[in-house]
Amino acid sequence: MPALPTFDFHCHSRCSDGVLTPHALIALAAERGLQQLAITDHDTTRAYTRQLADQARAVNITLISGCELSCLWQRRSIHIVGLNMDLAHPVFVRAMIEQAKARDRRAEKIIQALQRLGFSVSPEQIQAVAGQSMVGRPHFAEHLVRTKQMPSAAAAFKRVLGAGKPGDIKADWPALESVVGWISAAGGVAVVAHPFKYKMTLTKLRSLLGDFVEMGGKGIEVVTGHQQPNQTQTLADLAQRFDLAASAGSDFHRPGQPWAELGRASALPERSVPIWKLWPA
């Protein structure tokens, strides 16, 4: 059995839709023997503080700056992971402000959609659930469960929040080109996240990658969580075809999800160029 990777470049904390605090994530990463970690919360970098960096150094983990940004390509919602950016770069700081505004506007539309369906929900209630986190659909699901309007989060997504349901509001995300530009301007590496999650045909995925490379994209997640070996090989082939570096991450959100356990994604194929080869020397 191949050794488990010592890195994880896709995971989430309580700052977006994860359940662990950033500090708890570092502790779990150390327990799992990770040497490199990127916390890639959705459209926010609030996890990254001086205290977190100090904690990571104390347990010999190299903390790589990260963020999973939402954008649009041919009217499809796509996620791009930015890695190793200068989070204080003015372009990226403005980008985070714009993404936060887009998420706020989407939250308002979700509230209106749920109210039209007869659910009791308000901005104050959702913010109380989210706390300091970026508001996302899981917070709406949690509110509906807490107030006994839904029996479970799974039921909430199945009935009103999941794909194609009334609460599945498409935000006015920026274009793919803008997001790749933000990451590149901040000295980071743009990576296409979980390519198979978009349920595209291979022809469509190749079209996306062609545009992505033209815009300055540099990487693709060859491994996301526990995936089938044939999927890994297909993505490794695409990485080679488009001269993209290979990234890997668990897409961890919470303990107890065996398909997305922190630090337990499959190893990268030997023929892949690992993403960290693109970090500055």
pLDDT value at residue 4: 61
Residue 78 makes CB contacts below 8 A (sequence gap 6+) with 70, 71, 72, 176, 192, 193, 198, 208
pLDDT value at residue 280: 84
Q: How many DSSP H helices and E strands does the chain contain?
A: 9, 8
How far from each other are the two terminal CA atoms of the chain, in whole angstroms? 32
Class of domain 7-95+176-278: alpha beta
Q: Are domains 7-95+176-278 and 103-161 of this chain identical in fold?
A: no
pLDDT value at residue 215: 98
Residue 107 tokens read as: 């939250």
Instruction: Count CB-CB contacts under 10 A for residue 61.
Output: 20
Q: If the chain, 281 residues long, is cut into consecutive pieces of 10 residues, what is the mean pLDDT of each piece?
A: 74 94 97 96 96 97 97 94 98 95 92 96 93 87 96 95 89 94 98 95 97 98 94 97 97 93 91 94 70
pLDDT tens sequence across 166-185? 998 878 899 999 999 999 99
Domain parsing of the chain, residue ranges: 7-95+176-278, 103-161
Q: What CATH number should be reported for the domain whose range is 103-161?
A: 1.10.150
**CA 263 → CA 29, 117, 164, distances in Å?**
7, 40, 32
